[in-house]
C-alpha cells in the first residue's frame, strides 16, 4: 500500500479487509495472553471511534492518552487517528511533576485514560485549564465499544498536513519536549521502516517501544506486546520477554541495547535459543559490539541484527547491519567512534561545525571538511514540526534550508569515504580541555574491552575550555579487591595521555528509563569532589 495516500488508520483498515482472520495483536497480560485478529481490531477501533465521537472528540481535538500498552492503547490511538483527532502520548514512566509540565505544555482538550490516571489528574491538577472532555478507558469507552451500533460507511481520510500526534521526548536534556507530527511525517516513518526488513506483511513483531507496536498492524504485521516495567523498560524481566518471543513465534524483535543485553545474558546463562527470530532491530543508543556478540549467540545463524540510529524528532536516520559492526569493531576499539551505518533513502545527512549557538539559516559554509567530526544534521520525510511552545529549544535544534527543516541531532560524528555515518558522542557531553575537545565515544572504547572493566565514562572537571579530562571506571561485579586494582591499572596503562585522572566508581548513576544512558552531570560532580579531595 502507499502509506502517503492512505494514512496509518486506513492501512490497518485495509489489512482488516484483506486478511480479517490474521492476527493483528498478541498481548501478554498478567494473568493470560489475549489475541486480536484484524477483524477483531477493526471492530474495536470502529466502536471506540464511535464512543469517542459521542463524547465530543473530533478532528483536531488534542487528546491526552494515558493507557498502559495493550489492546486498549492500540485501539484508542487508531480510533483517534480515524477521527482525525490528535493523540498526546507521554512517557508513562515520567514522574508526576514532569507529567504535569508536559500536559500543561500540550494543553489537551480531552483526557482518555485509565481510572488511576483520572484520579491523578484530579488530585494533582493535570491539565486543569484545558481539559473539557474526559473518557475512562476500561469503563465508558469499552462498554460502548461492546454494544452494537451503526457506524459510518467511511471515515474522512486525513490530509498529509493535518496534525497527527504529539509525542514527548524522553528528556535527554532533563526536560521532556513536545514533538508534533503531521500525517505526512508518520507516512515518512512507515516508508523508512519498510527499508529495514523483517517488517513484511505476516511478520510477528515484538516491540518494547509502544509506537512500533501500534505501527505493526498498519504494516500488516502481528504485534506482540510483552509485559514491561513501564518505569524502567530497559530493566524489564528478560525471562518474560524470552518466554513471549518463544511462545508467540516472534520473527522480528525491537529492543534498546540495554534490554537486548539483559535478554542475551539471560538466554546465554540458561542455554536458551530464540529460534523464531529472524531480525533484531536495536535503537535508542549505539549497539556495542560486545552486546552484538552476546545477542548472536542465542539467535539462529540466519538472523540479522540491525543497529538503527534516530531520534524522536526524526525517528529513523541510518542503519548498520552486523557485518558493518563486525568490520568496524577494531576501528571503534582504536577510538574511531561507533559505526551507525548508511543513511536511509530519503534522508540527507550533513555534518556542521560544532557550536552551542542557534543557527537560523543553512549555508554550505557550515559544513566541516570530509571525514572531520561535526554535529550530525538530518533533513528528510520524517523530520517533525518544531517543538511545542519552545521557540528557544527549536532555535537550537532547527536550521531553515530554503523552507526545508534541518534537524540538529545534538550528536557528534563523521561521514567516512564509504558514506557511512559514525557516532563520536553527545555534543553536550564533550570534554572541552585546553588542548581541544574530547568526544566520549572516541575515548571510552579504547579501554572498555579490557579485562575486569564493565564500562567507563569520560567527564570533565572544571570550566569549558579548561576542563581536566577524568575517566571514571566501573568494574565488573564480583571482582576481588586485587582484581579491581589490576583492572584500574590496565585502564591507566591504555588511556590516552590527555586523561588527567582515572577514578574507580562503585556503580554509575544511570537514567531510570534508559539503562544504557549514564547520568554524566552527576558523575562529573562526583569526580570533581574526588579530584578536589585528592588534591588536598
Q: Are 39 and 184 in the same domain?
A: yes
CATH number at residue 422: 2.30.38.10
- Own/partner pairs for 140-145, CB < 8 Å, 24+ apart? 140/51, 140/55, 141/48, 141/51, 141/52, 141/72, 141/76, 141/112, 142/48, 142/72, 144/47, 144/50, 144/51, 144/54, 145/44, 145/47, 145/48, 145/50, 145/51, 145/75
- How far apart, in Å, are the Cα atoms of 263 and each of 10, 196, 507? 35, 22, 21
* CA dihedral of 506, 519, 229, 207, whole degrees rounded to 10: -120
Whole-angstrom Cα distance, residue 29 to residue 77? Answer: 19
Cβ atoms of 505 and 530 within 8 Å: the answer is no
pLDDT, position 150: 52
Q: Are 132 and 79 in the same domain?
A: yes
Domain assignment present for 28:
yes
Host domain of residue 357: 340-429
pLDDT, position 1: 43
Decide: helix, strand or coil at residue 408.
strand
Q: Are 87 and 7 in the same domain?
A: yes
Pairing, β 62-66 against β 499-504: unpaired
Q: Are 414 and 457 in the same domain?
A: no
Q: Are 56 and 164 in the same domain?
A: yes
pLDDT, position 446: 95
Domain assignment present for 296:
no
Domain assignment present for 242:
no
pLDDT, position 30: 62
CATH number at residue 527: 3.30.300.30
pLDDT, position 307: 95
pLDDT, position 174: 60
Q: Are 5 and 135 in the same domain?
A: yes
Closest CA to 326 of 356, 288, 272: 288
The angle subtended at Cα 45 by Cα 39 and Cα 48, nearest 5°, is 140
Q: Are 185 and 76 in the same domain?
A: yes
Count up the domains in the chain and report the number.
3
pLDDT tens string for the chain (536 positions)? 444 435 777 888 888 889 999 999 888 766 677 889 999 999 889 889 988 999 999 999 999 999 888 888 888 999 999 999 999 998 777 778 889 999 999 999 999 999 999 999 999 999 999 999 999 987 445 554 454 555 555 677 788 899 999 998 765 556 789 999 999 998 888 888 878 877 888 899 998 776 677 788 888 899 998 876 655 555 568 888 899 899 899 999 998 888 898 899 999 999 999 999 999 999 888 898 989 999 999 999 999 999 999 998 998 999 999 999 999 999 999 999 999 999 999 999 999 999 999 999 999 999 999 999 999 999 999 999 999 999 999 999 999 999 999 999 999 999 999 999 999 999 999 999 999 999 999 999 999 989 999 999 999 999 999 999 999 999 998 999 999 999 999 999 999 999 999 999 999 988 755 556 788 999 999 999 998 755 44
- Please name the residue that has the C-alpha cell 518471543: 245
- How far apart, in Å, are the Cα atoms of 285 and each of 60, 300, 309, 333, 401? 34, 24, 7, 17, 28
Q: Are 421 and 450 in the same domain?
A: no
Strands of 188-231, DSSP E: 204-207, 222-225
In the structure grid, which three cell numbers stand for residue 514, read together?
A: 534508559
Q: Are 380 and 483 in the same domain?
A: no
Cβ atoms of 102 and 95 within 8 Å: the answer is no
Decide: helix, strand or coil at residue 133.
strand
Q: Name the DSSP letter for residue 154.
A: -
Amino acid at each position: 500500500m502507499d502509506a502517503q495516500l492512505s494514512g496509518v488508520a486506513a492501512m490497518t483498515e485495509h489489512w482488516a479487509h484483506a486478511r480479517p482472520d490474521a492476527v493483528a495483536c498478541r498481548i501478554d497480560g498478567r494473568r493470560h495472553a489475549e489475541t486480536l485478529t484484524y477483524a477483531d481490531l477493526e471492530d474495536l477501533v470502529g466502536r471506540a471511534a464511535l464512543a469517542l465521537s459521542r463524547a465530543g472528540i473530533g478532528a483536531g481535538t488534542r487528546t491526552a492518552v494515558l493507557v498502559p500498552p495493550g489492546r486498549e492503547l492500540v485501539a484508542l490511538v487508531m480510533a483517534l487517528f480515524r477521527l482525525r483527532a490528535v493523540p498526546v502520548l507521554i512517557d508513562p514512566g515520567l514522574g508526576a511533576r514532569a507529567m504535569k509540565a508536559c500536559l500543561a505544555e500540550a494543553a489537551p482538550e480531552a483526557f482518555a485514560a485509565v481510572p488511576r490516571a483520572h484520579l491523578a489528574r484530579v488530585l494533582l491538577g493535570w491539565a486543569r485549564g484545558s481539559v473539557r472532555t474526559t473518557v475512562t478507558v476500561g469503563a465508558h469507552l469499552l462498554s460502548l465499544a461492546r454494544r452494537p451500533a451503526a457506524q459510518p460507511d467511511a471515515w474522512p481520510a486525513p490530509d498529509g498536513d493535518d496534525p497527527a500526534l504529539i509525542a514527548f521526548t524522553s528528556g535527554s536534556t532533563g526536560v521532556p519536549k513536545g514533538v508534533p507530527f503531521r500525517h505526512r511525517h508518520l507516512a515518512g516513518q512507515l516508508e523508512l521502516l519498510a527499508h529495514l526488513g523483517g517488517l513484511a506483511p505476516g511478520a510477528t513483531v515484538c516491540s518494547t517501544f509502544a509506537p512500533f507496536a501500534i505501527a505493526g498492524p498498519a504494516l500488516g504485521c502481528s504485534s506482540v506486546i510483552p509485559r514491561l516495567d513501564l518505569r524502567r523498560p530497559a530493566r524489564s524481566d528478560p525471562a518474560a520477554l524470552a518466554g513471549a518471543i518463544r511462545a508467540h513465534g516472534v520473527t522480528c524483535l525491537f529492543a534498546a541495547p540495554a534490554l537486548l543485553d539483559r535478554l542475551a545474558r539471560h538466554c546465554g546463562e540458561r542455554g536458551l535459543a530464540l529460534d523464531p527470530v529472524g531480525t533484531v532491530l536495536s535503537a535508542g543508543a549505539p549497539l556495542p559490539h560486545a552486546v552484538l556478540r552476546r545477542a548472536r549467540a542465542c539467535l539462529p545463524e540466519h538472523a540479522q541484527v540491525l543497529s538503527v540510529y534516530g531520534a524522536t524528532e526524526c525517528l529513523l536516520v541510518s542503519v548498520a547491519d552486523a557485518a558493518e559492526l563486525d568490520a568496524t569493531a577494531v576501528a571503534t576499539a582504536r577510538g574511531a567512534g561507533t559505526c551507525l551505518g548508511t543513511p536511509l533513502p530519503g534522508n540527507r545527512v550533513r555534518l556542521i561545525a560544532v557550536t552551542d549557538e542557534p543557527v537560523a539559516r543553512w549555508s554550505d559554509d557550515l559544513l566541516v571538511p570530509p571525514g572531520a567530526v561535526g554535529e550530525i544534521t538530518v533533513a528528510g520525510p520524517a523530520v517533525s514540526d518544531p517543538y511545542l511552545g519552545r521557540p528557544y529549544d527549536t532555535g537550537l535544534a532547527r536550521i531553515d534550508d530554503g523552507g526545508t527543516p534541518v534537524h540538529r541531532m545534538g550528536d557528534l560524528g563523521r561521514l567516512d569515504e564509504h558514506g557511512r555515518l559514525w557516532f563520536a558522542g553527545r555534543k553536550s557531553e564533550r570534554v572541552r580541555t585546553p588542548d581541544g575537545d574530547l568526544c566520549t565515544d572516541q575515548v571510552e572504547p579504547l579501554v572498555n574491552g579490557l579485562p575486569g572493566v564493565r564500562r567507563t565514562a569520560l567527564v570533565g572537571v572544571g570550566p569549558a575550555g579548561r576542563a581536566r579530562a577524568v575517566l571514571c571506571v566501573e568494574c565488573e561485579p564480583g571482582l576481588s579487591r586485587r582484581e579491581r586494582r589490576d583492572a584500574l591499572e590496565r585502564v591507566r596503562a591504555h588511556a590516552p595521555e590527555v586523561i588527567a585522572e582515572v577514578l574507580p566508581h562503585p556503580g554509575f548513576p544511570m537514567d531510570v528509563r534508559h539503562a544504557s544512558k549514564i547520568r554524566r552531570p552527576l558523575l562529573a560532580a562526583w569526580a570533581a569532589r574526588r579530584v578536589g579531595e585528592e588534591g588536598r
